[in-house]
Amino acid sequence: MASYQTTKKPPLSRVKVRPNLTGYERTRKTFRFTDVYKELDWLPDGGLNKAHECIDRHANGASANKPAMIWEGKNGEQERYTFADMKRETGKFANVLRGLGVGRGDRVFTFLDRIPEHYFAVFGILKAGAIAGPLFSAFGPDPVRDRLLDSGAKVLVTSPELRGRIAHIFKDLPELKHVIIVNKLGRDKTPIAPTDLRYEELMAKASAEFKTDNTSMFDYSIMHYTSGTTGKPKGAVHRHMAIVQQYITGKWVLDLHPDDIYWCTADPGWVTGTSYGMLAPWSNGVTQLIYEGGIRASTWYELVQRHKVTVWYTAPTAVRMLMRSGTRVTSQYDLSSLRYINSVGEPLNPEAIVWGLEAFKQAIHDNWWQTETGAILIANYAFQEVRHGSMGRPLPGIEAAILDRSYNPLPPGQQGYLAIRPGWPSMFHTYWNNADMYNSKFKKGWYITGDEARVDEDGFFWFVGRADDVINTAGHLVGPFEVESALIEHPAVAEAGVIGKPDPIAMEVVKAFVALKDGYEPTDRLRQELLRFAREKLSAGVAPREIDFVKSLPKTRSSKIMRRLLKARELGLPEGDTSTLEEE
Ligand code: PRX
C-alpha cells in the first residue's frame, strides 16, 4: 500500500497546531442528526424530497427572486436563474418525465456537460420520485453502457455530441425506453436519431405546475457508480434523507451563509458535484456559480473576481494545477471576496497548503468523505484552526475509528483501516443489484471505508493511503479491473495489469502492464494504438497514461494478477510477501 505523505512540511511559524476545541467538543457530545429534522421544510403530505428542500421551499418563500444559479458557459455565455425560475424549469421537466411514464423508483440518467439543463433535469427527476444517475460527460461508451445496463435506466438525457460519442451502445440497452436530447443554445449540429426526443420541444409544451412526489425519507433519490478493486463499478444508492447531512455540512463545514456566492468546481458526474454542487448549497438557499469549462488558472481567478465568489470547494489536483501558474498570476486578480476555501478527494499535500497560504492568504480546509458516505464525515472546521496535513475531525454525530486487521479499534498513533459506525443520514443504502458487495463492507458493526489512516491524541484523522488497489487520479477513483477489461478487448492483448503510478499533479496516473498475444510485436506504434483504444472506450481520465509491455504478469496460484507486486516493482520498493506467487 502506497503512502501519500510527503516529507516537506509547511513552515511551522504559519501553522498553529493547538486549536481551540471547546465548542466542537460541546456540540459533539449533545448533537443528534434528528435535531436537524426541524430545520427541514418537509412535504405537505409528510414526505421528504431533496428537490423540495433545495428549490421549492425557497421559491415558495422570501427567496423566490434570489439567484440560485449563475451560469457561465465555456464560450463565455452567461445565464442566471432565481429559485422561482428553478421551480418552474424543474416542474416542467418532472411533467415531461410523467408524460413518458416515469414514476417512483425508475432510473433516469443524465449524460450532459455542466449546463443549467443538467441541473433542471436532476431536480425534475427527483420531483417525479425517480432516481437520478448523473454521468461524467468525459466518459466514453464503455462506462456509460455499463452504468445504464446495470441500473436498468429507463431514460437518458444527453446532448447531440455526447449521444454521437456513445451511438453504438443503444442496441445493448433493452430497458432504455427514451433518449432526450438537450441542444443548449442550438449550438450543437451533430445529427440525432429520429426516435430521440427533443428537450426544448418537450419543455415548451410542459406545464410548470407539478406536485412533487410525496417520497418518504427512505426512498431512493440519487445513485453514483464508484470503483472497487474487483468487478465493474457499483452503483451506490442514496436516499432522500441524505439531505439532512448535506444541509448541515453545508452550514458547518462549508460555512455557508445566506449571502454567499459559492462555487463547487466538481462535475455532477461525481458525488461531490451533486452533494456539494447541488444539494448542500441549495438546501441552504445559497447562490452558486456553475462554470461549464475546464480548469485554467486565469479563467478561474477571473470567475472569482467577476462573481465575487466567497466560498470555494475544490480538489487538491486543481490546487496543484493552479500552483503551476504561480502566485504572480494570482496577484493580478482581486480575490479578496474569497473568505473560505475547502478541498476534498485526495490528500492535500504540504506543498499545496503552503502555496494556498501564500496565494489566497488563508488556509485551505481539507475534509474527507466518499461516494458511499454521501456527505462529509471528517473535516477541518471553520471554527477551529486547521491542522495542516490532517483531514480533520469527525462531524458531530459521527463515530470514526482506526481498526486493526481483525477489525478491532486501535489506539491513537497507529495505522489501520478507517472505519465509521453505520447510521449517519447520508449513508448509502445499497449497491444497486449487489447486496453481497454492500454487506461485505460491514465488519464487527463498522463500515469499512477502504482507506488506511491514523488518528492522533486530539482526534484528528490523517490519511495514509488506500487499503486496496483502487487508483485515485485527480480525485477520481478508477478500478483497475475496468481498465484491464477494456485493454484485453484489443486483439493484440493477452492480459493486462493496471496500477496507480505516483504523479506530482494528479496524485496518481493509470499505468498498464500488457502481455501480448503470440504474433504481436511490442512496438511503439502498438503502444500508441492501445493508449488511443483505451481512451476512446473509457475516457482520457480513466484510460492508462503509460503502457509497458511485459512477457507475462505476476499472478497468484489462483490466477489473480498481483497488482501490488507490479506496483512495488514499478516504484523500486520491496516486493513483500510473494509466497502466493505463481512461477513467472
Ligand atoms: O481514498 C479516499 C479519497 O477519495 C476516496 C473517496 O472517493 P469517492 O468515492 O470518489 O468520493 C469523492 C468524494 C470525496 C476516499 O476513500 N479521499 C477523499 N477525501 C480525501 C481522500 N483522501 C485523502 N484526503 C482526503 N481529504
pLDDT by residue (tens digit) across 177-227? Answer: 999 999 988 888 888 999 999 999 999 999 999 999 999 999 999 999 998
Ligand 1 centroid to Cα of residue 347, in Å, is 8
CATH number for the region 50-397 comes to: 3.40.50.12780
Residue 565, pLDDT > 80, answer yes
For residues 85 and 578, which has the higher predicted lDDT (pLDDT)?
Answer: 85
The CATH 3.40.50.12780 portion of the chain extends over 50-397
Q: 490 Cβ partners below 8 Å, 6+ apart?
A: 529, 530, 533
The CATH 3.30.300.30 portion of the chain extends over 471-571
Residue 574, pLDDT > 70, answer yes
Residue 84, pLDDT > 90, answer yes
Mean pLDDT of 77-90: 98
3-state secondary structure of 169: helix
Q: At what angle do helices 350-360 and 316-330 cross, to 10 degrees?
A: 40
Mean pLDDT of 501-520: 95
Mean pLDDT of the chain: 92
What is the model's pTM? 0.93
pLDDT range class, residue 6, cuts 50, 70, 90:
very low
Report the pLDDT value the prediction gives residue 12, as an integer from 0 to 100.
Answer: 37
Report the pLDDT value the prediction gives residue 188, as an integer from 0 to 100.
Answer: 86
- Give the right CATH number for 471-571 from 1.10.10.10, 3.40.50.720, 3.40.1190.20, 3.30.300.30: 3.30.300.30
Nearest by Cα to 389 from 1, 3, 2:
3
107 touches 154 (CB < 8 A)? yes
How far apart CA 50 and CA 427 sit, in angstroms, is: 15
Report the pLDDT value the prediction gives residue 14, as an integer from 0 to 100.
Answer: 41
Q: Which residues line the pocket of ligand 1, CB cutoff 6 A?
A: 226, 271-272, 344-347, 366-371, 391, 449-451, 463, 466, 472, 477
Q: How many CA atoms lie within 13 A of 250 on its CB side?
A: 33
Pocket test for ligand 1, best of 380, 418, 451, 507 (most atoms within 8 A of CB): 451
Atom of ligand 1 nearest to the CA of 366: 26
Report the pLDDT value the prediction gives residue 22, as an integer from 0 to 100.
Answer: 58
Residue 260, pLDDT > 60, answer yes
Strand order in the sheet with 311-314: 78-82, 67-72, 287-291, 261-264, 311-314, 340-344, 364-368, 378-379, 393-394
Report the pLDDT value the prediction gives residue 584, as an integer from 0 to 100.
Answer: 59
40 touches 425 (CB < 8 A)? no
245 touches 374 (CB < 8 A)? yes
Ligand 1 centroid to Cα of residue 476, in Å, is 8
Pocket test for ligand 1, best of 222, 278, 344, 478 (most atoms within 8 A of CB): 344
What residue spans of 14-64 are helical by DSSP H? Answer: 22-30, 50-51, 57-59
